[in-house]
Amino acid sequence: MNFLDKMERKWGRFAIPNLMLYILLGNGIVFLLYHLMGPQIEFLLAFNWQAVLHGQVWRLITFIFIPNSYSIIWFIFMAFLYYSIGSALEHAWGTFKFNVYYFTGALLTMIASGVLGGFGTTYYINLSLFLAYATLFPNVQFLLYGLIPVKVKYLAYLDVALLLFEFIQQGLAGKALIIISLFNYILFFGSTLTRGRQTATQKQFNKTKRAQSSTQRHYKSSSSEPIQVAFHKCHICGKTELTHPDMDFRYCSKCNGNYEYCMEHLKNHTHVE
């Protein structure tokens, strides 16, 4: 990630905060237009390289606003899900790196569609977001059907199994589309997966969860008030998301260890050797 850190110092001011919120708002607008105008709106917004070459350059952006479903129940569910996933990834990586991850997926989708033909969709972009979330936070539990608690890593295993089945069934062009479209995930997590090691985010998450469980067990019988344990704490000033709810926290990639800082001290501290 050193290359990304250098890019962030130079171009970080151009990153879009709350990117997932804007994308989902765009999804909502297209969803409404679809039900008002019909399927032709999707045809006008979808990525198509031949149409772009003929001057319809808006397709380079608008295809990311096309929903994967026009069922209102499924759309609302997916909107809440991917807003949560996008927000968690942006909080873990920072705004710039999350922007790079998402737009790299979009660019790869356009390249794959342009080379192999067809229309670009956000299906594989959203899948790469889910896989990234499952890699960083494998033990987070989702309520399947609102009742059954399932760790997100098991849902990711299922997605990968279905993707492999789809990969086997596809022809050469389909296989290439899958590989190219998910290459942003490989770029970010390839070394982590091949070496079988945890990311700094995973280590900190697991450490905090263990501390939270231990604290809750210790005080369960002595207090009726819910125990609140901070997940983020600045190494310099000790601020947490409990004491400062509006403050963002980031890990420093230059410090030797998992040291987290508030935004006031992220760029203004002595790096731990």
Per-residue pLDDT of 56-112, as tens digits, reads 999 999 999 999 889 999 999 899 999 999 999 998 888 999 999 999 999 988 888
Count up the domains in the chain and report the number: 2
My answer on whether 131 and 220 are in the same domain is: no
My answer on whether 189 and 204 are in the same domain is: no
Residue 242's domain spans which residues?
A: 200-262
Domain final position from 177, 195, 213: 195
Name, in order, each residue with C-beta under 8 angstroms of 175's C-beta and a sequence gap of 6 or more: 167
My answer on whether 146 and 249 are in the same domain is: no
My answer on whether 98 and 216 are in the same domain is: no
Which neighbouring-strand residues pair with 262?
249
My answer on whether 227 and 189 are in the same domain is: no
Residues in the chain: 273
Using alpha carbons, select from 184, 160, 39, 40 the residue that is nearest to residue 111: 184
Q: CATH code at 149?
A: 1.20.1540.10
Q: What is the SS3 assignment for 47? A: strand
Per-residue model confidence as pLDDT tens digits over 106-157: 998 888 888 777 667 788 899 999 999 998 888 888 776 667 788 888 889 9
My answer on whether 166 and 53 are in the same domain is: yes
My answer on whether 105 and 204 are in the same domain is: no
270 within a domain of the structure (yes/no): no
User: Cα–Cα–Cα angle for 199, 204, 206, nearest 5°?
Assistant: 95
The answer to whether the predicted template modeling score (pTM) of the entire model surpasses 0.85 is: no
Residue 264 has a CB neighbour count (10 Å cut-off) of: 14
CA–CA gap between residue 180 and residue 189 (Å, rounded) = 15
247 within a domain of the structure (yes/no): yes
